Amino acid sequence: MNQRQLTHAEPVDEQEIFSLTRPDKNLLQLYVLYALVTMVAFPFVMLPLYFRYRTMRYRFDTEGISVSYGILWRKESYTTYSRIQDIHVTRNILERWLGLGTVDIQTASGSSTAEVCIVGVRQFDNIRDFLYARMRGVKLKGNETNVKSNSSDNEVIETLRKIKEDLNAVRQSLETKRND
């Protein structure tokens, strides 16, 4: 059913994601537009948005992602990739015209709003695929093979191997005795 129309996502350049620390410059334009909508309240709305844009920092590391902003009240939220439940990519019409997108990440916490929001990025598709490959419950083929059993497992297997060797030795000596 409609499968021929579907296309597959391209592999993601991880270095591009790891090196992402700031939102795109167009985010400031987006904030100006948002503030203009409020008309008279423009300066009051614009000021916090401007500082939010200036202080917004993203950090992708090997285990998780952190987003921080704020000048008086600083906020920093961090979540690990393996706890991501839902990934929402939202683009409203202004964002589309400016080439931006928002990636909202939800974990299993009690609020219905997203725990981590990556706003004003151009690489929203790549970020989504990057997070997708690491999120809970997704094991992509190829990532599975390099799982090693731990030391106590090895011990059990080692013991079994020893038992087998001993039995083998007993049998062989019995066989040679019988043949004599």
Partner 1 sequence: MIEKLKEFLAPLLKIDLTAPHIPAGHENDTYLRAVRASPRFLSMRYTLLSLYGCMWLLLILIGTIVTVFIPFSLWLLTPLIALIIGMKVLLMYITTRIDYDMRWYIITDTTLRVRYGVWAVQEITVSFTNVQNVRIVQGPVERLFDISTLIIDTAGGGNADRDPYAKGHRAILRGIENPKEVRDMILTVLKMNRETGLGDPDEKQISQVFDSEIKNELKLIANETGMLKQIFTSSVA
Instruction: Report the interface residues with partner 1, using CB under 8 A.
Output: 1-3, 5-12, 82, 85-93, 96-97, 106-114, 125, 128-129, 132-133, 135-142, 144, 147-150, 153, 156-157, 160-161, 163-164, 167-168, 170-171, 174-175, 178
Give the residue with the Cβ less far from partner 1, 55 or 92: 92
Cα 7 from chain centroid (whole Å): 22
Least gap, CB of 114 to partner 1 (angstroms): 7
Token pair, residue 38, equals: 């409020």
**Least Cβ distance, residue 27 to partner 1 (angstroms):** 16
Q: Are 117 and 104 in contact (CB under 8 A)?
A: yes
User: Minimum distance between the CB of residue 50 and partner 1, rounded to whole angstroms?
Assistant: 23
Packed helices 42-55 and 26-37: angle between N→C axes, nearest 10 degrees? 160
Which residue's CB is nearer to partner 1, number 61 or number 175? 175
* Closest distance of CB 155 from partner 1, Å: 11
How far apart are CB 146 and partner 1 at their closest, in Å? 10
Instruction: Provide the sign of the torsion angle of the four alpha carbons 8, 89, 24, 20, taken in this order.
Output: negative
43 or 149, CB closer to partner 1?
Answer: 149
Measured between alpha carbons, how far is 8 from 144 in angstroms, rounded to an integer? 21
For 94, other C-beta atoms within 10 Å of its C-beta total 14
What is the number of other CB atoms lying within 10 angstroms of the CB of residue 78? 14
Specify the residue, 20 or 100, whose C-beta has the smaller distance to partner 1.
100
